[in-house]
Amino acid sequence: MLRYSFLATSILSALNFLLTDVFVVQVILGICLVVSLGIAIIWPEPLPPPPSPDLWSEAPKTKEREMKICSNCGKAVDQKWSMCPYCSKKV
């Protein structure tokens, strides 16, 4: 929307530039024309809106795999394992 307002300003200043006979006003309108047309051309496009807050789902409350604790070193290992990968003792 801002680009269109600068484009409209440049069109109005070009029209006024053609209709006036005063040199000082023509200089001011020429500067206004160049600046507003330049801004209308190089003004960046707005960023897209941010994603909605309910886009991401909540993390699951339970773990995906059941774990058990090694009786020797106390680290968590997979339920199906019979040997601890950290201390190499039977779980």
The per-residue DSSP string of the chain comes to -HHHHHHHHHHHHHHHHHH---HHHHHHHHHHHHHHHHHHHHPPPPPPPPPPGGGSPPPPSS-SS-EEE-TTT--EEETT-SB-TTT--B-
What is the rounded distance in angstroms from the CA atom of residue 13 to the CA atom of residue 23?
14
Q: Which residue ranges of the chain lie beneath pLDDT 70?
A: 57, 59-60, 62-64
pLDDT at 31: 93
Residue 31 near residue 11, CB atoms below 8 Å: no
Predicted TM-score (pTM) of the model is 0.47
pLDDT at 60: 65
pLDDT at 88: 86
